[in-house]
Structure 1
Amino acid sequence: MKESDWAILNTLYHEPNITKAAEQLYMTQPSLTKRLRQIEDEFDTTIAIRNSRGIALTPQGEYLARKAGEMLRQFKEIHQQVMEMNDGNKGTLKIGVTNSYGRFQLPSLLNQYKTMYPNNQFEIVSGLSSDVLRKVNLNELYIGFIRGDHDFQGVKHLISVDPGYIVSKRKIVLDDLPNIPRIEYELDPLTVKLLDSWWVEHFTVLPRKGLVVNHGDTCREMIANGMGYGIFLVPEFIEDTVDLYKLPMYTKDNKAFTRNTWMICNNESYKIPFVKNFIDFVSMTK
């Protein structure tokens, strides 16, 4: 059987619904059904039976589906070993990024790299830094761009040191913050902890809760409409705004309050030539 056939069985094991499984596999439902029947013919057995909820795997189907994960890992290992033998000029870079890095920094970076290595392809996954870190550790991604000083054992390069800003519609002073609603957006747990530590350094009361939104852009627009203040550790969100007041953040000992951005890669992935090429390129251009 082909690798794609094992991928079908593995997907059906985790998603026993033909329609949803087809979406995950980027196939049409008829194509998936037809291929499943061909696999059944190949093994001369029934793999799945339709029911009101979707499908149910037969004992034979469940056995094959469990084996599918093992087979896919073997295929991945074979691919990786072959990639390590080539010169790094061709391959698919699986990269994880935070939403903000994917929006502001990554596009131009990939464009520059593509001019040097036109045969390289990219698979981009976005999420919180903790999610990207986990996927790099599990070898689901070759490279990650994360915010904050996470514990990581592997190849790690500092990309930038980003200053923090308190942003509001009108001029404010630091002592006013406990009395003004804070507009928050989704942040990685480590960044939340970092901001909490900064707050405790400066205040003895909790921040006044305001709106909670899902993205920095939304937070900025709420601030522009006078709904409260926000804290930004990605300057690109606010660098072109002339109608908002930006108060630089400092630690208790009057040092700039910053957060680091890192590029990470596990040690095994770094052995792959096209992965190493990309990391070396970013390290030289940052």
Structure 2
Amino acid sequence: MKDSDWAILDTLYREPNITKAADLLFMTQPSLTKRLQQIEKEFTTTIAIRNPKGIVLTAQGEYLAIKAGEMLRKFKEIQQQIMEMNDGNKGTLKVGVNNSYGRFRLPSLLNQYKTMYPNINFEIASGLSSDVLKMVNLKEINIGFIRGDHDFHGIKQLISVDPSYIVSKKEIPFEDLPYIPRIEYLVDPLTVKLLDHWWYEHFTVPPLKGLVVNHGDTCREMIANGLGYGIFLVPEFIEGAVGLYKQPMLTKAKKPFTRNTWMIFNNDSCKIPFVRNFIDFVCTQTNSTK
């Protein structure tokens, strides 16, 4: 059995759906299915049975999954103790990051940090902020970078406060927005609620739904082709955009409508020297740019 196999069994116990479990494990569905079949062959038993709603673990599968969880927790405990004994100059830092922060800001931070600590390695997982939050809560990563004021019971460090913009090919009178198609890109549920709250502070009718795309860059290109307007809570998506009209978003009180970016981590992470070093480094860098 590989270490990753124990993680597979533990994940299937917590999420009895091949597709969702594969996403959590950052695997493809065929790869997960194949690996599960190999585990069943190794133990000469059936571990899971498929049904229309997902999978059901057999008695043998449930027993193996519970033991897998126990072994993983024990291994993490041992790993934690060893890391706390190190001097902070070596290690593998597991970081989860919101897609846009991972694209635009994290690379520069990592590059600067590697010049100071060349023996530190990084494992990066990206996704929506809600995905990163879940990974931190499950202690699958040491540190997370998220956008938006999500509920979190660990430690939060404010990284930046970013303005938001209404973007269109040409100027649109604010009162006309409900009658122009809005082009949307994929954001987490908290951001959807935030935008809905802002909208209904200003308008009594819902927005006119236009295209829905996967990425901010695609949204920007659709706007550039005159297919509607977009709301951007990530300024980097529109930096350098030529020929587009940017209208700052304001609250009902006429203050800038902003969104916070946070670095989040659990108390246990602070005890690991190389994680603590990185936390201190990020705090220093972000404070110097405010």
One-letter code aligned to 1:223: I
Alignment CA distance shift 1:58-1:252 (3 Å): closer
Root-mean-square deviation over aligned CA pairs: 3.3
Unaligned 5+ segments in structure 2 are: none
* 2:71 paired with 1:71: yes
Take 1:6 and 1:205, find their aligned partners in 2: how far apart are those partners?
51
* 2:261 paired with 1:280: no
Take 2:48 and 2:205, find their aligned partners in 1: how far apart are those partners?
59
CA displacement, residues 48-88 of structure 1 (integer Å, 9 cap, x when unaligned): 599999xx998666634431221121111110111011111
Per-residue deviation, 1:154: 2.1
Take 2:49 and 2:197, find their aligned partners in 1: how far apart are those partners?
53
CA displacement, residues 223-259 of structure 1 (integer Å, 9 cap, x when unaligned): 0110000000111000110111111111122111111
Written as runs of structure 1 = structure 2, the 5 A alignment for 1:1-286 is: 3=3, 6-7=6-7, 33=38, 46-47=44-45, 63-286=63-286
One-letter code aligned to 1:235: P
Partner SS state of residue 130, structure 1: helix
Partner SS state of residue 267, structure 2: coil
Partner SS state of residue 68, structure 2: helix
CA contact (8 A) 2:40 2:47 kept: no
Unaligned 5+ segments in structure 1 are: 41-45
Alignment CA distance shift 1:224-1:70 (3 Å): same
Partner SS state of residue 252, structure 1: coil
Per-residue deviation, 1:120: 1.2
Alignment CA distance shift 1:169-1:270 (3 Å): same
CA contact (8 A) 2:47 2:62 kept: no
CA contact (8 A) 1:47 1:62 kept: no
TM-score in terms of structure 1 length: 0.83
Per-residue deviation, 1:23: 6.6
Larger radius of gyration: 1
Per-residue deviation, 1:172: 1.5
Take 1:49 and 1:137, find their aligned partners in 2: how far apart are those partners?
27
CA contact (8 A) 2:48 2:58 kept: no
Per-residue deviation, 1:190: 1.4
CA contact (8 A) 1:169 1:224 kept: yes
Any runs of at least 4 consecutive aligned residues in structure 1 with deviations exceeding 4 A, and if so which?
Answer: 1-16, 20-24, 47-53, 56-62
Take 2:212 and 2:47, find their aligned partners in 1: how far apart are those partners?
45
One-letter code aligned to 1:177: L
CA contact (8 A) 1:9 1:68 kept: yes
Per-residue deviation, 1:143: 0.7
Take 1:61 and 1:176, find their aligned partners in 2: how far apart are those partners?
58
Alignment CA distance shift 1:154-1:15 (3 Å): closer
Take 1:102 and 1:12, find their aligned partners in 2: how far apart are those partners?
28
What is the count of residue pairs matched by the alignment?
276
Partner SS state of residue 212, structure 2: strand
One-letter code aligned to 2:72: L
Alignment CA distance shift 1:62-1:200 (3 Å): closer
Alignment CA distance shift 1:12-1:98 (3 Å): closer
Per-residue deviation, 1:107: 1.0
Per-residue deviation, 1:12: 8.3
Take 2:131 and 2:248, find their aligned partners in 1: how far apart are those partners?
29
Take 2:128 and 2:140, find their aligned partners in 1: how far apart are those partners?
15
TM-score in terms of structure 2 length: 0.82
CA displacement, residues 187-243 of structure 1 (integer Å, 9 cap, x when unaligned): 111111111111112112111111111111111111011000000011100011011
Q: Which residue does the alignment assign to 1:43?
A: none
Take 2:249 and 2:114, find their aligned partners in 1: how far apart are those partners?
37
One-letter code aligned to 1:75: F
Take 2:99 and 2:87, find their aligned partners in 1: how far apart are those partners?
31
